[in-house]
Structure 1
Amino acid sequence: YTMFDEVIGADGLAAVRACVVPGPGRAGQNSAEDSAADPFAGLSDSFLYVPRADLLRRIVECWASAYNPEAVLYRLRRGADPDAARVAVGVQQMVLGASSFVAFTRDPRDGADRVVVAAAYGIGEGVVQERADIDHYFTERATGVVRSEIAVKRRMIGAPAVTKSGSPAVLAEPTEREVPAESAEPPVLSDSALARVVETGCRIEEHFGRPQDIEGAFTADGELWIVQSRPLADLPEQVVWSNHNITESYPGVSCALTYSLARDFYKTIFTDLYRRMGVPEARLRENAHHLERMVGLREGRIYYRLDAWYALHGLLPEFEFIRGWWEHSMGLRPEPGMDTSPGWRRRALRTAPGTLRRSTRHFRQVRGFLAWWDRTAAEAGDLESLDAQALIAFYRGLWAEVGAQWGVTLTNTVLGILPAAAYEGLLRRWTGARHRAIFGALLAGGPENRTLAGVRAALELSDLISALPEARDRILSATTAAEDAAVWREIVEGEYGPEIADAAVRQLRVYGDRAVGDLKLEQLTPRQRPAMMLDMVRPHLRQGAGAEASRADERKVRADGERELREQCRSPLRRAIIHALASRTRAHVKAREDTRFCRTELFGLSRRVLLRLGVLLAGAGRLDDPRDVLDLTVEEVFGAFDGTLPGSDLRALAALRRADRERWEALPAPAPRLVSLAGRPLDVA
């Protein structure tokens, strides 16, 4: 009773709540317990408004309720051991709310991503038992938009009166009372109070990692109290979509051709990854539907479908080792139903020798991949001169090889996370608050990757142009696309000297597929509009930055990082370990940037093929304009030539998709995280 008096007060009231837990030594066995999967497993008793004199009696009754007839029958019907359960009893201070609420962090009707709050004046029974007049609030989590259904409130439930003398104490029933007239029409919850409930509910959901059913109250002094929270039962199965991270590659609305190519790309390269990491073919066949839907199109924007990603990555025993790092890099938060798979440590340890072998030969495979790609890109030749049959054969042959080669670009990520995590973790431990600055600084320098080489090539071209004021002024004075085209012709025709002309032609030949959003097929690149190269050199001409200055800056960053490491970490052995991990991480970063550049070239070749097929379709009268091909899928484009296209009216199909795309472009961007319901069409989900 001493703790009761200290926490609740001798004259206070308590809630005595029961929670069924497994019997001794039975955790994880076939024993019913209150849980996320079975939140009502125990059917045990709980008591409200318990005075001090009744505390022990109510605790004993909670314990005994594990074996009431309803609870025993429930466990038998669920196939659980009826003798396996015990009851843990919690004693809480009873909060007598001036207003009370129930908050669902997902809409219990359809699982939508909104917080639903029901609130009434008085104590919680008025809301839970619907004995009071209730206001309802619906807050869209993605946008914060609130829709309210405000009742005229005449009834509320007041706290029961308790007779303090005697044991057991005499407890009256909660009583129905009239709502004061001045409170009948205003909302129970003010905007600020509702915002507090929603924000608190979202934090509770994040803490438990799944949607919650929360009860709470506001006392007369405005204090918010959370009475209980439990998993939201019978929630419809949800599909979570995220475009965090993917918007770097596919910003804004994407056309149908871009989406279909992106979908093929993810399916193709991740299939190769899983094979390389030892996933059996049978498991890949079982998960073929997930490979088909790794990305989806929501309101014209490309999103990751997270259940597919977790299911597929869960095939990798190594995944749980790198899961946190991967989720952070993807901008993801823990999602309900995507928990750690049981036994992953045992499986990961069993496959560790294979992972180590793959790691030792990884960079040799990267070099082989780059050599293969350079040959493939060089042999592509003049695609614009090929007929449709040759274009389609080239495309399909190219992507067949991609399916056997590109997985190495992803194993680079998987194998690179482990040394990077060790590097970052040891730096934090051994250098303290400065570890982030040192982390990046030690990765500077070393052999130049292909992405950086493209930037440096533009700087070198800028250096040549800056040395000739006439050329520099001509480029900076051009303000329209027509003027840019004229300037580019002057450059490549040698009006500013052969050195500048040769450098410009080489820049276009090697880096002509590079542009902002260059994975989107609707995005023109210098390969289609060469004068776009001038946009790459103008900033450097204005700033006066050159290639050698860039290299000097990189060397200085590295030297500063080395100096700070020596100051913060005095142990030569520890510094040697840091340098070894930094070197390994630097090699993985170089491989990542080299292969990303290859990805740009792959999409550049695909763009050339598909746009050329658009020209041929328009020439044959199947499309009104060659760029209407952007509103078809890859298979529809090929089907028009192969005879595998259901229907024949490509014009109408392209027009319909173009109208959708234009409508989506006029709408505000949807939230980065969306939720739909499994098994329902997305336009009504």
Structure 2
Amino acid sequence: MNPYVLDFGQIDKHSLPLVGGKGANLGEMTQAGFPVPSGFCVTTQAFRAFLEQSPAMSAYFQQLDQLQADQLAEIAAIGRTIREHLAMVPIPGHIQIAILESWRRCGAAQAYAVRSSATAEDLPTASFAGQQDTYLNVRGDEQLLKAIRACWASLFTDRAISYRAKNRFDHRAVLLSVVVQQMVFPEVSGIMFTADPISGHRGTISIDASFGLGEALVSGLVSADLYQVRQGELWSKKIARKKLAIYGLPEGGTVTQDLPESEQEREALGAEQVLELAKLGEQIKAHYGSEQDIEWCYAQGRFYIVQSRPITSLYPLARVTDPLGPGESPHLFLSFGHQQMMTDAMKPMGLSVLRTLLPFGKPTLRAESRFTSAAGGRMFVDITKLFTLQPARTLFPKLLYNIDELMAIGAEEYVQQDAFIRHLPKAPGLKKGIARFVGPILLRSMRNLWVADLSKAEQKVSAYMKQSLQLGASRLAGLSGPERIMRLQEHIGSLMLNIFPALLPYPLPGIISFRMLHALSVRWLGDADVAHVLNRGLQGNVTSEMGLMIGDLADTARPYPEVIELIRHGQPAAFREQLRHVHGGDVFGQAWDHFMKLYGMRCPGEIDITRPRWRDDPNTLLPSIDSHMRSMQPGEHRVKFAQGAVEAEAAGRDLLARLRKQPLGWFKAKLMGRLLRAFRALMALREHPKYLMMQNFGIIREALLAEGALLVEAGVLAQADDVFFVSLDELLRLTQGERPETLPQLLRQRKEELERYRTLTPPRLMTSVGEIITGRRKMTDAPAGALLGTPVSAGVVEGIARIVMRPEEAKLNKGEIMIAPFTDPGWTPLFHSAVGLVMEVGGLMTHGAVVAREYGIPAVVGIDGATQLIRDGDRIRLDGTRGYVLVLEPHA
């Protein structure tokens, strides 16, 4: 076997280091019997030998190592220099001989396509597609060698260098093979995806087709016909106007020709051809075991496959635990992360805890709910069976409007489709199960809303929380090993069953009263704004008080320059210890310890139990204190909050006075008065259930880490927090003595998967066949060019946009508007520093919206891609009344 040139028949999927992703795929398909035009690969060993001809390449690689993906001018300069240099480097003679021997054996009279094939190309996790060059209709030995040299040099095009830098690939580690493949001069060519690349639907084969060579389609010169096949039938087709095509020339090269008017709207493929091609795609997908992006062409009555690579852009599937029944509708999954305002990828233990937490669809308390699925490092909840109840198809989407408008719109449209309703799975006993759980909560909520003494509500809630937490801690005290893990599972599985019935009857009537206040204010007074004013300065909200205490910490630090220096530039891990050695550290330390006692178990992304809490690592908290000192005057946060409460009380009195002047005013004022009292007393308790949950998460996290430390002592784990890369059941088996030899490899694989999952954007809604359900807002009276979202806190503000992807990186200055992917209670410390808030996810009743209203800052949520569409430093107008953001002055 020649080390420099391999025929397709000598290549399979294991040949990737020698022939790259593209070459390995062609060899694999050739050996599997698919209709692949014959050819050969010039191996990476030949490329390496070619580079070794140049003593200058070592210095060039050192320069490449210093580049960042966004340094476009520097990339262009070094790339051009390397390509010009390689054009002068000779191809070693023995490699030329090997290439030309294979070329003659394959057919010297034939025309060839010459393509680059990188070792990091067409991988399941990184496509690299289009990063290197392709040369078509290459004829003769001189053209062939010239094209191969050009392919080698194309490893150093601007786009290839930037792509490697962005994806952190070592420039030396990505080697290049060259694929030399006999040309087929097709009547029609195109691309086939075995899953819909737009919607993600795994049951849809999507085919793009146009006349002539596929380069016109790939390069975007021509629109293609689109055919979609589902379950072996032509499901849809869209015929495009195809104005031109690319054809091969007899002497070599290609020509672009305008198509006659009569040909431009002719179907590129007939129905039988579409189904034949789709069947071939299914066979290729089955061979590889994954969805494929396939380049194909049609010539002289048959199809040829010229490339196949994995589709890397699809979001992983959320799996249905129970197999779908015959003819059953695809199941609909809701993103739990969007509901909880934390869409980052989570480690396996974080997902396992959440799946155990959900109380439905499980045979025992310790089990993970079968109504949940982990996909792409996120948890999704299967809500399909809920819609077997007709009222749920109307009511549930309306509830989702409080969480995320786009999610609500998507669900609303999808669950009303006849095809979905007609094939819903059976759900015996569902109505009774819901009634048993929800019924008592609703009855107590109505009592609290209309008749209960509200003055003792907070006292009752606080007493329950204290008792519940003490009980949970006592149940876990003194345990270790399997007994501790089983008790943990039971405790996690019972949390929602205990907390929700006990606490939800307090904040739920607060939410209902807010909606009724808004609706009745609009109906009776035509006033849509007063309800937002009534939100301000709610007393007793544990999350709002946490934010105010951050301001108190900032004010405590102000008189002490050394403390401020530690906050800004100290070592977060050693912060508390460092305080002992600076002037004012004892004063600030007392305030710090008090804060940690109340809130140390919280952090950004706190629903992920694997994330370090503030008491473990204050790295995400200290920047918030710093931002507060730079953007607020001493005591300003408390004054503003108190002023909000005064304004809310005044707005309430004014509202009742206006109602009394109307017909039946005494009745309207009495009704509204009760709603006002219920709202001010109970809405402040909205965050208490989450607060208690996080207090329990703090206990659970400590127990997991303690068990991890014991496994480190036993030599099972390398470090205690490796425990977060297994599930609860897996951890139980480890504590029971199981010692799988593959554990180190499994942990390494899961850590690599987590890094990949962090690059994915999770969908709000997705079906079990991978279809992403996306809602679309209706146009409003927003200005042209505005970004549309959901208005959640009224008011209009203009200021500098500050993109904050993570709280620990926040550098908010006075008068700036925070643009964030999401916020949860761990982000609350930043709210005082911002004059406005924009989020990519969220709804009227999610955390960021509620806190923004309480603090009286305008907010718009649900703007997809806001952190990319708005640039750091742009001057923007945020309209929290109408729900849009407008860029006024782009940042230079």
Q: TM-score range by the shorter chain?
A: 0.5 to 0.7
Select the residue among 592, 610, 621 that pairs with 2:704: 610
Q: Quick one: structure 1 residues 506 and 391, their matched pair in 2 at CA, closer, same or farther if it must change by over 3 Å? A: farther
Amino acid at match of 1:628: D
Alpha-carbon displacement from aligned partner over 1:236-282 (angstroms, at most 9, x marks no partner): 62122232763644322111111111111122xx68xxxxxxxxxxx
* In structure 2, distance between residues paired with 1:382 and 1:357: 28
Select the residue among 559, 580, 587 that pairs with 2:674: 580
Q: Secondary structure at the match of 2:379?
A: strand
8 A Cα contact 1:384 1:608, kept in partner: no
Select the residue among 463, 469, 479 that pairs with 1:371: 463
* In structure 1, distance between residues paired with 2:654 and 2:209: 57
The reply to whether residue 549 of structure 1 matches residue 639 of structure 2 is yes
Amino acid at match of 1:184: E
Q: Measure how far apart 1:608 and its partner are.
A: 1.6
Instruction: Flag structure 2 segments of 5+ consecutive residues without an equivalent.
Output: 1-195, 211-223, 231-235, 244-258, 269-325, 771-892
Q: Secondary structure at the match of 2:380?
A: strand
Amino acid at match of 1:242: L
8 A Cα contact 2:560 2:583, kept in partner: no
Q: Measure how far apart 1:664 and its partner are.
A: 2.0
Alpha-carbon displacement from aligned partner over 1:398-423 (angstroms, at most 9, x marks no partner): 43652552222445566555444433
Matching of residues 509-524 of structure 1 within 5 Å: 509-524=597-612
Select the residue among 521, 528, 531 that pairs with 1:427: 521
Matching of residues 71-110 of structure 1 within 5 Å: none
Select the residue among 406, 415, 419 that pairs with 2:499: 406
Q: Which residue of 2 aligns with 1:664?
A: 757
Q: Secondary structure at the match of 1:242?
A: strand
* In structure 2, distance between residues paired with 1:326 and 1:519: 21
* In structure 1, distance between residues paired with 2:581 and 2:475: 21
Worse-superposed segment, 420-429 or 180-189: 180-189
* In structure 1, distance between residues paired with 2:445 and 2:561: 55
Give the percent of matched residue pairs that are identical in Structure 1 and Structure 2: 17
8 A Cα contact 1:250 1:302, kept in partner: no
* In structure 1, distance between residues paired with 2:200 and 2:589: 63
Q: Which residue of 2 aligns with 1:535?
A: 623
Amino acid at match of 1:517: G
* In structure 2, distance between residues paired with 1:289 and 1:525: 25
Instruction: Flag structure 1 segments of 5+ consecutive residues without an equivalent.
Output: 1-105, 121-133, 141-145, 154-179, 190-233, 272-283, 679-685
Q: Measure how far apart 1:633 and its partner are.
A: 0.6
Select the residue among 518, 526, 536 that pairs with 2:614: 526
Q: Secondary structure at the match of 1:612?
A: helix
Q: Which residue of 1 aligns with 2:565?
A: 474
* In structure 2, distance between residues paired with 1:236 and 1:404: 31
Amino acid at match of 1:529: D
Q: Which residue of 1 aligns with 2:447?
A: 360
Q: TM-score, normalised by structure 1?
A: 0.55
8 A Cα contact 1:294 1:309, kept in partner: no
Q: Which residue of 1 aligns with 2:380?
A: 303
Select the residue among 401, 404, 410 that pairs with 1:328: 401
The reply to whether residue 623 of structure 1 matches residue 717 of structure 2 is yes
Q: Which residue of 1 aligns with 2:766?
A: 674
* In structure 2, distance between residues paired with 1:116 and 1:397: 47
8 A Cα contact 1:493 1:501, kept in partner: no
Select the residue among 722, 728, 743 that pairs with 1:650: 743
8 A Cα contact 2:372 2:380, kept in partner: yes
* In structure 2, distance between residues paired with 1:646 and 1:416: 51
8 A Cα contact 1:491 1:504, kept in partner: no
* In structure 2, distance between residues paired with 1:352 and 1:385: 37
Q: Secondary structure at the match of 1:521?
A: coil
Amino acid at match of 2:350: T
Alpha-carbon displacement from aligned partner over 1:109-144 (angstroms, at most 9, x marks no partner): 997597989999xxxxxxxxxxxxx9434599xxxx
Q: Quick one: structure 1 residues 589 and 338, their matched pair in 2 at CA, closer, same or farther if it must change by over 3 Å? A: farther
* In structure 2, distance between residues paired with 1:139 and 1:560: 63
8 A Cα contact 1:263 1:295, kept in partner: yes
Q: Quick one: structure 1 residues 258 and 148, their matched pair in 2 at CA, closer, same or farther if it must change by over 3 Å? A: farther
Amino acid at match of 2:720: P
Select the residue among 337, 349, 360 that pairs with 1:257: 349
Alpha-carbon displacement from aligned partner over 1:191-222 (angstroms, at most 9, x marks no partner): xxxxxxxxxxxxxxxxxxxxxxxxxxxxxxxx
The reply to whether residue 500 of structure 1 matches residue 588 of structure 2 is yes
Alpha-carbon displacement from aligned partner over 1:298-337 (angstroms, at most 9, x marks no partner): 22222232215546xx5xx996895454131243232234
Q: Quick one: structure 1 residues 446 and 150, their matched pair in 2 at CA, closer, same or farther if it must change by over 3 Å? A: closer
The reply to whether residue 449 of structure 1 matches residue 552 of structure 2 is no
Superposition RMSD in Å: 4.9
Alpha-carbon displacement from aligned partner over 1:448-501 (angstroms, at most 9, x marks no partner): 1211221122222222112x14245424541xxx53345432335674154322
Amino acid at match of 2:652: E
The reply to whether residue 633 of structure 1 matches residue 732 of structure 2 is no
Q: Quick one: structure 1 residues 376 and 561, their matched pair in 2 at CA, closer, same or farther if it must change by over 3 Å? A: same
Q: Which residue of 2 aligns with 1:77?
A: none
Q: TM-score, normalised by structure 2?
A: 0.43
8 A Cα contact 1:290 1:309, kept in partner: no
8 A Cα contact 2:507 2:684, kept in partner: no
Q: Quick one: structure 1 residues 495 and 390, their matched pair in 2 at CA, closer, same or farther if it must change by over 3 Å? A: farther
Alpha-carbon displacement from aligned partner over 1:327-369 (angstroms, at most 9, x marks no partner): 312432322346999xx9xx99xx9999545632698898656
Amino acid at match of 1:300: G
Amino acid at match of 1:254: M
Q: Which residue of 1 aligns with 2:273?
A: none
Q: Measure how far apart 1:429 and its partner are.
A: 0.6
* In structure 2, distance between residues paired with 1:390 and 1:676: 36
Alpha-carbon displacement from aligned partner over 1:425-468 (angstroms, at most 9, x marks no partner): 21221232x32x211222334531211221122222222112x1
* In structure 1, distance between residues paired with 2:439 and 2:339: 34
Q: Quick one: structure 1 residues 385 and 527, their matched pair in 2 at CA, closer, same or farther if it must change by over 3 Å? A: farther
8 A Cα contact 1:492 1:505, kept in partner: no
* In structure 2, distance between residues paired with 1:402 and 1:440: 33
The reply to whether residue 182 of structure 1 matches residue 275 of structure 2 is no
Q: Measure how far apart 1:384 and its partner are.
A: 11
The reply to whether residue 459 of structure 1 matches residue 546 of structure 2 is no
8 A Cα contact 1:135 1:187, kept in partner: no
Q: Secondary structure at the match of 1:461?
A: helix
* In structure 2, distance between residues paired with 1:568 and 1:367: 33
* In structure 1, distance between residues paired with 2:555 and 2:479: 38
Q: Quick one: structure 1 residues 660 and 485, their matched pair in 2 at CA, closer, same or farther if it must change by over 3 Å? A: closer
The reply to whether residue 292 of structure 1 matches residue 369 of structure 2 is yes
Number of residue-to-residue matches in the alignment: 453
8 A Cα contact 1:239 1:676, kept in partner: yes
Q: Which residue of 2 aligns with 1:129?
A: none
* In structure 2, distance between residues paired with 1:492 and 1:463: 19
Q: Secondary structure at the match of 1:238?
A: coil
Amino acid at match of 2:695: E
8 A Cα contact 2:540 2:685, kept in partner: no
Alpha-carbon displacement from aligned partner over 1:576-607 (angstroms, at most 9, x marks no partner): 32232133234442222112111222222222
